Amino acid sequence: MIRNTRPAVLGLIGNTPLIEITRLDTGPCRLFLKLESQNPGGSIKDRVGLWMIEAAERQGKLAPGATIVEATAGNTGLGLALVARAKGYRLVLVVPDKMAAEKVLQLKALGATVHVTRSDVGKGHPEYYQDYAARIAAGTPGAYFVDQFNNPSNPAAHEESTGPEIWAQTAHAVDAIVCGVGSGGTLTGLTHFFRRASPSTEFVLADPKGSILADYIRTGTYGEAGSWAVEGIGEDFVPPIADLTGVKHAYEIPDAESFAAARELLRSEGIHGGSSTGTLLAAALRYCREQTEPKRVVTFVCDTGTRYLSKVYNDNWMRDQGLLPRESFGDLRDLIG
């Protein structure tokens, strides 16, 4: 029997657990992690996929079976693919060619059509992934271009779900929230919620070294972006949807510190997060250890570490990137020599 109700998997998005870190030095503070890795698609972006698609449905922008188009290198695509599949929409994604093969395979398994384009070209180039996606949407009748960097339903997902969940789970006592910025949806939605619910709650930006955002928050200006290996956060521009006015402190975290923090989280607490989780945890630990008063601090496990087994959790890759010291091969040399 087929019952034509809302697919049950969509009910598993959100209401993620909040747990306390107990085996890392958090100074005078208590540090809590919200496990966004527990969403059915494995990341914080499932919320945004659901919110943006259901808002488009309410606004009459999506007819049954219509085509959804987005440009994304990561978790937003997986969130959209999960929701589009469950609701019977076609999904076309444009991804830059540096994206991990596992993610493309997972997107295809979920039924998405994936166009791989060049990652070495910038805005204005016909093969730039955002422009490519906009062209596909314009050329497909009835298509809906999601455009997460300009879509108000992206921060709304966090203002209406992530924020209230944290507020309830901390029993209305949270002194600081440590957040990263990719599109800025999480930070914007949370600062807007807490501005009303708890204006004294401080927001702390965790930014990969090389991104322009931490500098922009401190000085109001920014220079040339560098490069960084952490995925999903850090930008070379301020996304239109991002409202950074609520941020009090910003930390720039080098890749080596982010990756070490992610690995330490798995070793000490048994929690398997991705590389951006390492950046957030590293910034949260720095913040906690700098405090002189006890504070209650919340940060996120943004996505599951299984997506990064060939990188963060692969010693050979880490050594090749210069993120782990080379081992000495004394024994081997003895044998050869």
Lay out the site mask for ligand PMP across 252-281 (x = CB under 6 A, - = otherwise). ----------------------x-x-----
Among 163, 185, 234, 246, binds ligand PMP (CB under 6 A): 185
Residue by residue, what is the 3-state secondary structure of 175-240? CEEEECCCCCHHHHHHHHHHHHHCCCCEEEEEEEECECHHHHHHHCCCCCCCCCCCCCCCCCCCCC
How many whole angstroms separate alpha carbon 169 and alpha carbon 187?
18
What single-letter amino acid sits at 120?
Answer: D
Regarding 75 and contact with ligand PMP (CB under 6 A), the answer is yes
Residues near 272 by Cβ (< 8 Å), separated by ≥ 6?
37, 265, 266, 304, 305, 306
Q: How far is the CB of 298 from ligand PMP (least distance, A)?
A: 15
Lay out the site mask for ligand PMP across 205-234 (x = CB under 6 A, - = otherwise). --------------------------xxx-
Q: Catalytic: 34?
A: no
Among 37, 39, 67, 183, binds ligand PMP (CB under 6 A): 183
Regarding 181 and contact with ligand PMP (CB under 6 A), the answer is yes
Among 46, 147, 159, 303, binds ligand PMP (CB under 6 A): 303
- Which of 45, 87, 103, 311 is catalytic? The answer is 45
Q: Which is nearer to ligand PMP, 52 or 233 (CB)?
A: 233
Among 117, 186, 211, 304, binds ligand PMP (CB under 6 A): 186
- CB of 10 closer than 8 Å to CB of 254: no
What would the two tokens of residue 272 be?
Answer: 């398997």
- CB of 126 closer than 8 Å to CB of 106: no
Give the catalytic positions in this structure. Answer: 45
Interface positions with ligand PMP (CB under 6 A): 43, 45, 74-75, 180-186, 231-233, 274, 276, 302-303
